[in-house]
């Protein structure tokens, strides 16, 4: 089956704005923070069912780290120092300020059952989005180029991806994992200075591997929010090509054929991928296409299930095969 045929299986229209999941949002960001801090919000203990299994395994392991809660305090101070100045020129999205963006944000929050996050638009010529902060105190940054050059459905996918990081608490857990790597390398540096660089590289491999899985999880969240595979793939293409006109002309079938070509490359040429925090774009697109053909995806959207959908087990097996480095 070609990519174009696979795209046709996905409904062309985004999820209607009136549709709500079993766990609707509707709470303000401030109320959400208060619930978490007071202990009334228990959803943190669960990972969304759309998550890639490895993502859940890593998070459960990190839950046993005793000093994990202190990472959030460190992150908040770091953001104030490093990112604070850039925020002075940012514009906060609201129902009146960039209403098109706010509609996409509100839709994503309702799709995933999270509080409506704070979203800022920052001046930048690149098409880029980023979630900054901690699991309790965070905001999404969108570049002005993204807001200007992406359609509303494409933007919904990219915002939904960032909301996936919030929904899965990636911010704090990723910071905790990085802190463990740094602490381990510092300990070894004291004992065996010459071993520090090889050890640091060795520890980066599993960390980067988890980051790549986390990105796949969030791509799934983005598609759930957008409800349109075609627009979601185009959003990824625009993010990669950074030229909307070229992205519109991109032949997806030809682009995904690069996966087969890369498998024929030598093992040495694949080494940089072990340290990459984001999967290569063709792999992300193929993995997202698989998710769009799965029973799991249709559990989250109000569409009639077509025949011959992938089971959860087949979805994860094929996703692992597509996104593996070797």
Q: Is residue 324 part of a domain?
A: no
Q: Is residue 229 part of a domain?
A: yes
Q: Is residue 321 part of a domain?
A: no
What contacts 177, CB < 8 A, 6 or more positions away?
58, 62, 207, 210
Q: Is residue 250 part of a domain?
A: yes
Half-sphere exposure for 121 (CA within 13 Å, toward CB): 18
For residues 121 and 147, the answer to whether their CB atoms sit within 8 Å is: yes
Q: Is residue 273 part of a domain?
A: yes
In the chain, the number of structural domains is 1
Tokens of 65: 């780290």
Q: Is residue 322 part of a domain?
A: no
For residues 162 and 110, the answer to whether their CB atoms sit within 8 Å is: no
* 120: region left, alpha or beta (phi > 0 left; psi from -120 to 50 alpha): beta
Q: Is residue 74 part of a domain?
A: yes
Q: How far is CA 185 from CA 188, 191, 195, 198, in A?
A: 5, 10, 9, 10
**In DSSP terms, which residues pair with 118 in a beta bridge?**
139
pLDDT at res. 125: 92
* 69: region left, alpha or beta (phi > 0 left; psi from -120 to 50 alpha): alpha
Tokens 């909301």, residue located? 163
pLDDT at res. 1: 52
Question: Tens-digit pLDDT profile for the chain (326 aa)?
Answer: 544 454 445 443 343 343 333 333 444 444 544 544 443 344 445 789 999 987 766 666 655 555 555 555 665 665 665 566 666 778 999 999 999 999 999 999 999 999 999 999 999 999 999 888 776 778 899 999 999 999 999 999 999 999 999 998 887 767 666 555 555 555 555 555 555 556 556 666 777 788 889 999 999 999 999 999 999 999 999 998 888 888 888 888 888 777 777 666 656 666 777 777 788 889 999 999 999 999 999 999 989 999 999 999 999 999 999 988 76
For residues 292 and 309, the answer to whether their CB atoms sit within 8 Å is: no
Q: Is residue 223 part of a domain?
A: yes
For residues 100 and 10, the answer to whether their CB atoms sit within 8 Å is: no
| Spatial CA neighbour of 141 closest among 133, 130, 153, 126 | 130
pLDDT at res. 83: 61
Domain with 25, as residue range(s), is: 3-315
């Amino acid at each position: 089956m070609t990519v174009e045929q696979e795209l046709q299986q996905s409904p062309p229209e985004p999820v209607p704005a009136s549709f709500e999941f079993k766990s609707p949002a509707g709470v303000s960001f401030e109320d959400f923070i208060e619930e978490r801090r007071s202990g009334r919000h228990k959803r943190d203990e669960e990972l969304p069912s759309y998550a890639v299994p490895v993502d859940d395994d890593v998070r459960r392991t990190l839950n046993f780290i005793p000093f994990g809660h202190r990472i959030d305090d460190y992150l908040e101070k770091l953001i104030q120092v490093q990112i604070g100045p850039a925020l002075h020129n940012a514009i906060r999205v609201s129902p009146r300020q960039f209403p098109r963006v706010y509609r996409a944000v509100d839709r994503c929050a309702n799709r995933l059952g999270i509080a409506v996050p704070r979203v800022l638009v920052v001046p930048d010529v690149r098409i880029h989005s980023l979630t900054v902060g901690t699991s309790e105190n965070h905001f999404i940054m969108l570049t002005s180029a993204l807001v200007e050059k992406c359609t509303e459905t494409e933007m919904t996918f990219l915002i939904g991806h960032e909301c996936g990081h919030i929904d899965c608490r990636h911010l704090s857990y990723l910071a905790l994992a990085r802190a463990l790597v740094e602490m381990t390398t510092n300990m070894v540096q004291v004992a065996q200075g010459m071993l520090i660089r090889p050890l640091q590289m060795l520890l980066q491999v599993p960390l980067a591997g988890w980051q790549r899985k986390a990105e796949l999880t969030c791509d799934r969240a983005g598609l759930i929010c957008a409800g349109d595979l075609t627009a979601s793939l185009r959003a990824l293409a625009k993010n990669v090509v950074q030229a909307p006109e070229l992205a519109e002309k991109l032949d997806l079938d030809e682009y995904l054929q690069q996966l087969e070509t890369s498998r024929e490359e030598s093992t040495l040429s694949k080494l940089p991928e072990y340290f990459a925090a984001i999967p290569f774009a063709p792999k992300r697109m193929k993995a997202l296409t698989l998710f769009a053909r799965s029973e799991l995806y249709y559990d989250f959207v109000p569409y009639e299930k077509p025949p011959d959908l992938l089971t959860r087990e087949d979805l994860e097996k094929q996703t692992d095969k597509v996104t593996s480095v070797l």
